[in-house]
Amino acid sequence: MNYYVFQVSDLSTYGKQKVAQEVFDFLVKDHSVWGFGPNTPNRKAIQEGDGVLFYLTGQKNQTFVGSAVLASRAYTDESGQSTDWYADPTTLRIDLKDVSVFAEPKHRKSFNSLEWFPAQGGSSKITERDFNIVLGTEPDISHKILVEDDAMEFALEKYLEEFIISNWEKIDFGEKLTLFNDKDGNTGQQYYTGDVGYIDILAKDEKGNFVVIELKKGRNNDEVIGQILRYIGWVRKNLALDSQLVRGVVIVGERDKKLDYALSEISGKITSKVYRMFFKLEAY
């Protein structure tokens, strides 16, 4: 059994309604169905019995509004029953069961330990733990203690990740990198591994080798080095061919002697880069 987040925006093409909440209400609440476009990530991976959360995107939303169990895979509705339900006639139908509409929307930022982060595409995988945290069946307890400066750094670097993805072709990585896409259409942003969590960014270099990119995000040096090594190991075992190399890049806000010592012992496997952000207020 796998778990997914189905994302819907105010400009969704799945339903004829143009407001995300209305699309959810009409398709999920009223008809117990969902829809995938021909290129939606995971359209071939989803299975009957998988769990799903529904997430409304956009600055005014960012909320989980319900859950369900998949009663079918994505399929072309030959019966014509759902023809008038979707704005795009090529939309693949997905039947739902055990639909639950939350009494109140659950804002993503209201959770303390949720690791899932929205990525591009209409669907993405989510860990069982994150799934249960949103449902409220598992404690939402964070074991990370951030001082004020680290908390600010963490917040900034979540925006930095989105900035990097949105401006991928303009970012100077010191080499040509391409954002990874797997066979199910999942992009390399917040790439779900299942075993070891979500990789911030997974890319490939010009030679086809894998590059795991992690933002420090307020974590201590030991934690971030341990995390990226686990990701490298997972990619090597599950994605890379024997001929493909796997290396890591840690992106930090400033140089750190302790990090330098750690990286010196694993040179060639992990390197680091320092980002620069400028924000200035001037007199009106």
Kindly state whether residues 126 and 159 are assigned to the same domain. no
Residues 187 and 264 occupy one common structural domain: yes
Q: Domain range holding 193? A: 148-274
Q: Is residue 141 part of a domain?
A: no
- pLDDT at residue 76, as a whole number: 93
Whichever domain contains 29, its CATH number is 3.10.590.10
CA distance 267 to 202: 19
Calpha distance 23→29 (Å, rounded) = 9
Q: Say if 161 falls within a structural domain.
A: yes
Residues in the chain where the model's pLDDT stays below 70:
11-18, 143-158, 217-221, 277-280
pLDDT of the residue at 145: 46
Cα distance between residue 155 and residue 59, in whole Å: 16
Determine the pLDDT at residue 148.
46
| pLDDT tens by residue, 154-186 | 456 567 888 888 889 988 888 999 999 999 888
Q: Does residue 210 share a domain with residue 157?
A: yes
pLDDT at 118: 83
Look at residue 75 and tell me if it is in a domain: yes
The one-letter amino acid at 248: G
Residues in the chain: 284
66 inside domain: yes
- The answer to whether residues 243 and 154 belong to one domain is yes
pLDDT score for 60: 77
CATH number of residue 155's parent domain: 3.40.1350.10
Please choose, from the candidates 53, 67, 54, the residue with its C-alpha nearest in 3D space to the C-alpha of residue 8: 54
**pLDDT for residue 278:** 64
Are residues 155 and 130 located together in one domain of the fold? no
* Final residue before a domain boundary, out of 91, 114, 135: 135
Same domain for 172 and 125? no
Domain count of the fold of the chain? 2
187 strand-pairing partners? 181
Please give the structure tokens belonging to residue 95. 């039947």
User: Do residues 101 and 123 share a domain?
Assistant: yes
Whole-structure pTM value: 0.75
Q: What is the pLDDT of residue 53?
A: 97
Task: Look at residue 70 in the predicted model and tell me its pLDDT.
Answer: 98
